[in-house]
Amino acid sequence: MATMSIPTPTPSTRAVVASSASASSATMSAATLTPPLLPARASNSPQLTPTNLPKGRRRSSSIHGQHPPYSQPHTAKIGPQRTSKVSQKLKILPSPADQDEESGRDVYSQVTRIKDTTARRDAERLGKAERAHLPRVTAYATANAYKMESMMKFLKSRQTSRGTAPKQFDECIYTPFSYTYEARQREQQQQGQRHGQSGDLIDPGVESSEVFLFQYGVVVIWGMSMRDEKRFLKDIAKFESEKLGEDDVQVENFNYYVTSSYQPRIYNDFITLKDGGNYMIKLSISHAIAQSVKISLFEDLVDNTIEDTKSIPQDVATTGKVNMSRRDIMKHIGELFILRININLQFSVLDSPELMWAEPQLDPVYQAARSYLEINQRVSLLNQRLDVIGDLLQMLKEQMSHSQGEHLEWIVIVLIAAEILVAVINVVVDLLAGSD
């Protein structure tokens, strides 16, 4: 297994990518753990939420067998089609304040090659059991778009009861949001801020749950429990435009923790932060996660299209006929064009958000998260699959046009034959009349 050491990235370069360690070795590492990494917390015990996607899924996108906040669909689902979800990929998040740890060239590394011993130890120890003790990061694609002006008014009206302080960054609204805000304020006044146990490298405490609402119908929630996430989704449902059905909702699940012991990174869907209160860093990561969950919806739609059209080549090969009407073929072609427009021209899936131009120091973090989520590769794969389906449908369209042309030719031939027959009859009749 070839590995390379990780140099320190500069803000102008992209973060490094780590190749995936084998699933078996990661399982053995997790099996050798002794006590859990963190003590359980009653208030923030995140349980990762799987997703409900458009009908036609073939396997589940749930993480570690937990149940979604929506009703379970009748069919299995695929989920986000990225290798980092199962391959334990490591991605360093560039930090402008720390330039002495690694350089900016892109390399691949296994967990065993992480230079920092504490970082390596935590990376090996983080596994399924630790997810229940760490705060959650969950992204939901619930609609085609959100009504941002109405959403902003709603959030401003909850400043006293939920601790909101909404700020809008182009296509995104950020705000703290907590259903226990008033109770926590009273508790903090009486007891002061609670701290983690001495000697813990990871601080499981969450300053406040935060939400990032994106105009294209995606919300990224940091630090809420599953129950509060479900409650928040119900609260914002009235601001959804072209709401997705329960079986169409797509979800991405992560966990995060805060530590100052080593450089921020993403490994095995665990996000490491140095400053849990820096919402701009979270905003950069949330942009990439929101794009990823939107792409997951497109991946599902493409899978459904493939499922609907996969029998066409077999029918043509066995019968030599196309059992589809011209109208159905044109409808499929139109759906493909809509998908391609949505993927490539809308929802800022391909382009960097406007925020990265205004705040260039955030772009390396965004690019690192985007690389971890394999957005460019997934979009490229989507376009390739759409090209194949498009070629098939275009071939069918041409075949239908050719068949229609042949049909018209036969009509012309029949008409000419009829005209000849009439002319012959007239000649015969004239001859018979002349002979009389």
- pLDDT band with cut points at 50, 70 and 90 for residue 392: confident
Pairing of strands 240-243, 218-222: unpaired
State the chain's mean pLDDT as an integer: 73
- Residue 101 half-sphere exposure toward CB, CA atoms < 13 A: 20
Q: What's the rounded Cα separation, in Å, for the pair 207 and 229?
A: 17
- Residue 219 vs residues 31, 79, 286: alpha-carbon distances, Å: 35, 17, 9
What are 17's strand-pairing partners? 91
For residue 198, the model assigns a pLDDT of: 44
Q: What's the rounded Cα separation, in Å, for the pair 329 and 9?
A: 50
List, for residues 302-322, the tens digit of each pLDDT value. Answer: 888 888 888 888 888 888 777
For residue 232, the model assigns a pLDDT of: 96
Class of CATH domain 293-402: mainly alpha
Q: Which among 326, 366, 334 has a CA at the least distance from the CA of 348?
A: 366
Please report, rounded to a whole number, the percentage of residues in the chain having pLDDT higher than 70.
Answer: 65
- pLDDT band with cut points at 50, 70 and 90 for residue 9: very low
Lowest model confidence (mean pLDDT) among 12-21, 146-155, 360-369: 12-21
List, for residues 101-139, the tens digit of each pLDDT value. Answer: 433 333 333 344 445 555 555 655 666 666 777 899 999
- pLDDT band with cut points at 50, 70 and 90 for residue 177: very high
Residue type, 227: R
pTM for the complete prediction?
0.66
Query: Taking 60 as the threshold, does the pLDDT of residue 203 lie above it?
Result: no
